[in-house]
Amino acid sequence: MRIFWNENYTSIKHNFDTSRKSNNIIEMIQSDQNDTPNRVKLLKDIPSVQIVNPEQTTDISITERLISKWLDSEYVEALKTNNNRYLAESQGFPWCTNTYKFARAHTHGLIASVDEIKAGAKRCGSLSSGLHHASRSGGMGFCTINGIALSAIYAYEQGFEPIILDFDAHCGGGTMDFLKAFNSTFQTSEKPIRHIDLSTNGFDSYNSTQTVHWSYLHILERDENYLEAISRALAEAKPFITDKTLFIYNAGIDPIGSHGIDDDVIADRERMVSSFIGDSKAIFALAGGYSGRTVSRDDVARTHLKTIYGWSCQTK
């Protein structure tokens, strides 16, 4: 299975999980670390995971075209030049000369993932994060350019029927901003891009009652079981699966620490999602996962490996 990444993913000066954790993941994939959890380590050779530079497989001009078409030009210019500091730092990071290149790279990896599926792969992914809160007009919540939305739009252009599964801890309001604009261009009641959003935190929530045909949002209640809620969310997508379906999975691990969710629950979630997707085509992004006082960046990386190797095992 191919995983897309290059050094631009970690090229900004600001030292934060979104801008650095993919380095830790790359190091773990490329080495045999004794402290890698056995359950993950056993999967490391079943099958091989290949790290690929997305710029070597997909021309960057495709991502530039999508950014130019769907993002406000004022916001894009601010990311490139810092001519508007409020916009340039709206995701919460100090601006630097690599801000635009960094954000574009995280999106381009998902665009390359769509091309990989078009070329015949069943599953692949990108070590991308900092995506689903970004809207067309600005960043938010450590998210700069919304590669989830743009890759879904690109997948539709390539003849797929995208279904977004967003299981990050927080809601994908930025993705909804894009999809409202995109889906409104169609005159039929059936919308081409569907959005399944299960969150454990109401940050960046939105009203989906006017878009019930293509949007599902559920924020976990205090006493709800997380895995049961995942099962219900997946059931919402099931009626819309066809031979043209492409799942785009925003696989956040930041629900850990709430609602009794731990690493083992996330591993169970990944198995559920992988089993549900089955023979359908799918790509994934890392999404949220953060270090802290008692959690190292290596700890975060190890948990993300549950997505990477849980998925690769299904590609045999």
pLDDT value for 211: 54
Residues 236 and 230: beta-carbon distance below 8 Å: no
**Cα–Cα distance list, 219 to 169, 181, 200, 267, 307 (Å):** 9, 23, 6, 20, 22
pLDDT value for 316: 43
pLDDT value for 32: 58
Tokens of 50: 């290949």
Spans of the chain below 70 pLDDT: 32-47, 188-191, 209-212, 311-316
Its pTM stands at: 0.94
User: Which stretch of DSSP H or E encloses residue 267?
Assistant: helix 263-277
Helix (H, G, I), strand (E, B) or coil at 278: coil
CA gyration radius for the chain? 18
Task: Characterise 143 by phi-psi region: left (phi > 0), alpha (psi -120 to 50), beta (else).
Answer: beta
d(CA 314, CA 278): 8
**Cα–Cα distance list, 92 to 103, 142, 287 (Å):** 13, 6, 16
CA angle 188, 193, 194 (to 5 degrees): 105
Q: What CATH number has the domain bearing residue 201?
A: 3.40.800.20
DSSP string for 162-173: EEEEE-SSB--H
Q: What domain range is 99 assigned to? A: 2-315
Q: Could you check whether the bond before residue 162 is cis, i.e. omega within 30 degrees of 0? A: no
Number of structural domains, the chain?
1
d(CA 166, CA 80): 28
pLDDT value for 311: 67
DSSP string for 83-146: SSHHHHTTTSS---TTHHHHHHHHHHHHHHHHHHHHTT-SEEEE---S-TT--SS--BTTB-S-
pLDDT value for 294: 92
d(CA 258, CA 250): 18
pLDDT value for 210: 58
HSE of 57 in the Cβ direction (CA atoms, 13 Å)? 21
